[in-house]
Amino acid sequence: MIDYSRDDDGVVTLTMNDPAQPANTMTEAYVAAMSAAVDRLHAEREQVTGVIVTSAKKTFFAGGDLPTMYRATRADAPALFKLLSTIKWDLRRLETYGRPVVAAINGAALGGGLEIALACHHRIALDRPDTRIGFPEVTLGLLPGAGGVTRTVRMLGLAPALTTWLLTGRRFRPADALANGLIDQLAATPAELIIQAREWIRANPDAAQPWDRDGYRIRGGLPAAQLPAFPATLRKQLKGASLPAPEKILATAVEGAQVDFDTAQVIETRHLITLLTGRIAKNMIGAFFFDMRAVNGGLARPRVEAPPPRRVAVLGAGMMGAGIAQACAEAGLDVVVRDVTPELAARAAGPGITTTAEVAALAGCDVVIEAVFEDPALKQRVFAEVLPVVAPDALLASNTSTLPITGLAAGVQRPGDFIGMHFFSPVGKMPLLEIVVGEKTSDAAVARAFDLGRLIGKTPIVVNDGRGFFTSRVIGTFLDEALTMLAEGVPAPSIEHAALQAGYPTGPLALADEVSLTLMQRIRRQYEAATGDGFERLPSHELVDAMVDKHERPGRSGGRGFYAYGNGKRGLLWEGLVEMATPAGRAVPLEDLKDRFLFAEALDARRCLDEGVLRTAEDGNVGSILGIGYPAWTGGVLRFAEQHDDFEGRARELAARYGKRFEPA
């Protein structure tokens, strides 16, 4: 896995190149190869003037071996300790070798890859647009355990190491990594990368790590006065949620800063093993590695050939339409945006985007994405206007969040080419795309929509038709549960804090304001009209109607909702909420509030899978985290149910206390 080559100047190049994988990771093959390479370096020390560590892959090093990590159990702890100790010992032997060691980072260096680079005395990164450098471990429920915490703290100081690198999971571009202290130099080309590495070796024959020199102190010292503030700051960042990975990173950094380097390494190893053998890391690795890889790899894409998109028509130049147009243009597609007037269409103007009010300007478009108001008649009308001029086999996509695709397709010619493409706002930031398949949607249309989603950088899940599809339906369940709590007399602050402490990114009442109570009311009334006598009216519906119709509080867009708003900022919860609720007959325990949110969504997601709305569990897990904010620590809405110690029993408990909606199917 590691090629060892020494030139006439005595410079040894260690080139990492795992023959069994497209990227280098910390597999057993890496461990054995690095041990052998370092052994040889020490054996040939008198003939060596310096060392360059680089990669033969497009990336430098991708990090830890996640499949192996995923399988780790508590019984594996002694073996894991030995393995991690070996990895660290070899990197320690490399940095104390007595010769200059340079990391020539020719591509992405994430997690373990960055840890290898930090064990070198100097780091030069190839300045390419796709190169990323960082520690994503916290987003997988882990911590950098091959010396990453220990070295970063000693290199940058406690506060910068934690707040910039270790707790954020950020993946920096090379220039940003240089500005933030973990990269020393940039190179414009692969050849220049190696030239600069050789030059640095010649200029620094006595190179050593700062912490191995006499008189070294951690930059900024140990900020004893600030130490009590670190846990409070972290808790504020986590919004009260208790997540083991960031807590262990903080503990590792603070504890390790107060002892010698080798002891700090042991502390780091022990904390990592605790995370590796725990449930939450497995949940997060399952979602963000296995499920994400399956979804993006086309698990739900029909195995049919599909022509690539070339020219996209976007109907509607509002915020959503403009965002879709920009995403398509940034992917190199020719984009035309149409609205009813040139002035309205111009709202979506940008590089690679043509705006127009003329139907004729859409001639030849092979993809049509409609992003107009959520009105079935309006959507069908705009399709009817453009169908005569676009390509005869154009993909016809509606960006709707709730309206059934089969019903929309009934009013449009060529229903086999008609599909739902539900983007999330803001389009530029939200990574998910929900592809909705109607009764007559063809496999070719699904494949074309999927390929377009991947082309513009989205993670596309594929679901079957139904009111609300998957994401809007399940997040509606979340909001309904919050409003039910409010109607029961649970104090509004308790509802918000319970959701945040469960790991949701936003409180449900704040989210309802963002969605708009008016929109929630309209969607529910559409569903009520379609269902007829079978519709069950809930206390949450009465509450929304009172908010909108009686108190004129439509949500954030109207400046008044569950919260007050001023100068574009959310203020305090509205005092009138106390009077709207039924006086509470009993206090509801915090754990019940948290579980009511988690279980309400998990149970509805299981119904989506049973009913065929969800095609795969992987789509449900990924969609719930990326699209509707289900807590990432769960590994996704369906994995939460699978890994819970007693999901069925706890659901029945909640059903007995709060209603039959919690009865497990």
Asked whether the predicted pLDDT for residue 221 surpasses 90, the reply is no
* Candidate list 115, 268, 434, 601, residue with the active-site label: 115
Band of the pLDDT at 223, cuts 50, 70, 90?
A: low
CA distances from 152 to 10, 144, 160, 271, 272 (A): 30, 10, 9, 16, 16
Band of the pLDDT at 225, cuts 50, 70, 90?
A: low
Three-state DSSP at 510 gives helix
Asked whether the predicted pLDDT for residue 422 surpasses 90, the reply is yes
**Average pLDDT for 236-253:** 90
Q: Do domains 311-463 and 472-662 have the same CATH topology?
A: no
Three-state DSSP at 309 gives coil
Asked whether the predicted pLDDT for residue 291 surpasses 80, the reply is yes
Phi, psi values for residue 257, rounded to 5°: -70, -15
* Measured distance CA(276)–CA(571) in Å, rounded: 40
The one-character DSSP state at 532 is G
Give the tens place of pLDDT for each residue, 560-598: 999 999 888 999 999 999 887 777 666 889 999 999 999
What rounded mean pLDDT belongs to the chain?
A: 94
Quote the pLDDT of residue 242.
79
**Average pLDDT for 277-295:** 96
Band of the pLDDT at 304, cuts 50, 70, 90?
A: very high
Quote the pLDDT of residue 402.
85
Band of the pLDDT at 413, cuts 50, 70, 90?
A: confident
Give the tens place of pLDDT for each residue, 149-172: 999 999 999 999 999 999 999 999
Quote the pLDDT of residue 525.
87
Beta bridge partners of 6: 12
**Average pLDDT for 376-380:** 92
Band of the pLDDT at 263, cuts 50, 70, 90?
A: very high
Asked whether the predicted pLDDT for residue 278 surpasses 70, the reply is yes
Quote the pLDDT of residue 526.
82
* Measured distance CA(406)–CA(393) in Å, rounded: 19
Quote the pLDDT of residue 227.
79
Least confident of 245-249, 375-379, 530-534: 530-534
Asked whether the predicted pLDDT for residue 532 surpasses 80, the reply is no
Regarding the domain delimited by 472-662, which CATH topology (the fold level of the hierarchy) does it fall under?
A: N-(1-d-carboxylethyl)-l-norvaline Dehydrogenase; domain 2 (1.10.1040)
Asked whether the predicted pLDDT for residue 246 surpasses 90, the reply is yes
DSSP track, 453-482: HHHTT-EEEEEE-STTTTHHHHHHHHHHHH
Is residue 137 annotated as part of the catalytic site, yes or no? Answer: yes
What six digits make up the tokens of 306?
A: 């599909």
* Candidate list 44, 95, 137, 653, residue with the active-site label: 137
Quote the pLDDT of residue 230.
85
Domain extent listing, the chain: 2-277, 311-463, 472-662
Quote the pLDDT of residue 254.
93
CATH 2.70.98.10 fits 311-463, yes or no: no
**Average pLDDT for 617-631:** 97
Give the tens place of pLDDT for each residue, 436-477: 999 999 999 999 999 999 999 999 999 999 888 999 999 999
Give the tens place of pLDDT for each residue, 10-56: 999 999 999 999 999 999 999 999 999 999 999 999 999 999 999 99
Regarding the domain delimited by 2-277, which CATH topology (the fold level of the hierarchy) does it fall under?
A: 2-enoyl-CoA Hydratase; Chain A, domain 1 (3.90.226)
HSE (CB half, 13 Å, CA atoms) of 127? 11
**Average pLDDT for 133-137:** 96
Quote the pLDDT of residue 567.
87
Helices (H), 306-387: 319-330, 342-345, 376-386
Is residue 192 annotated as part of the catalytic site, yes or no? Answer: no
**Average pLDDT for 317-334:** 96
Asked whether the predicted pLDDT for residue 478 surpasses 90, the reply is yes
To the nearest 10 degrees (0 to 180), the angle between helices 471-488 and 492-502 is: 140
Long-range contacts of 185-191 (CB under 8 A, 24+ apart): 185/122, 185/123, 185/124, 185/125, 186/124, 186/125, 186/126, 186/127, 187/104, 187/124, 187/125, 187/126, 187/127, 188/127, 189/126, 190/106, 190/126
In percent, how much of the chain has pLDDT > 70? 99
